[in-house]
């Protein structure tokens, strides 16, 4: 296991994205280093061999945005009860609190 401090999983997912973080958890330390090296190359936008804070911020925003879009796509169908590609307030309440109302 690669986890060595509290908050590791949160940082791991913020940096890699939830799905990618899960796949990293299955790798050996050597495989993780190799894969991380490839990711670092992708983060280094100007290919100068260094990662700036701006490049890292851009990367994390991109990963988080992808997660948000994927999550919305996954849960949309649960809230769009009449399948019209819109979510009315009534649908939202029903999907979220329906068993309480």
Q: How confident is the model at residue 3 (pLDDT cuts 50, 70, 90)?
A: low
In a domain, 1, yes or no: no
Residue 71: domain span: 8-97
- Distance between CA 100 and CA 5 in Å, rounded? 39
Give the largest CA-CA distance in the chain: 58
pTM of the model: 0.63
- The pLDDT tens digits for 26-78 are 889 899 899 999 999 999 999 999 999 999 999 999 998 988 998 898 889 88
In a domain, 3, yes or no: no
pLDDT value of residue 59: 92
Per-residue tokens: 24: 């990293």
Per-residue tokens: 73: 């796509």
In a domain, 72, yes or no: yes
Q: How confident is the model at residue 15 (pLDDT cuts 50, 70, 90)?
A: confident
Per-residue tokens: 9: 């999983």
Domain count, the chain: 1
């Amino acid at each position: 296991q690669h986890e060595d401090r509290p908050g590791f999983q949160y940082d791991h997912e913020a940096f890699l994205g939830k799905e990618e973080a899960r796949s990293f958890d299955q790798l050996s330390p050597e495989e993780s280093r190799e894969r991380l090296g490839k990711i670092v190359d992708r983060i280094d936008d100007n290919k100068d061999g260094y990662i700036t804070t701006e490049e890292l911020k851009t990367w994390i925003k991109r990963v988080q945005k992808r997660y948000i879009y994927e999550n919305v796509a996954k849960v949309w169908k649960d809230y769009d009860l009449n399948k019209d590609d819109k979510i009315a307030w009534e649908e939202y309440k029903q999907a979220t609190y329906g068993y309480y109302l």
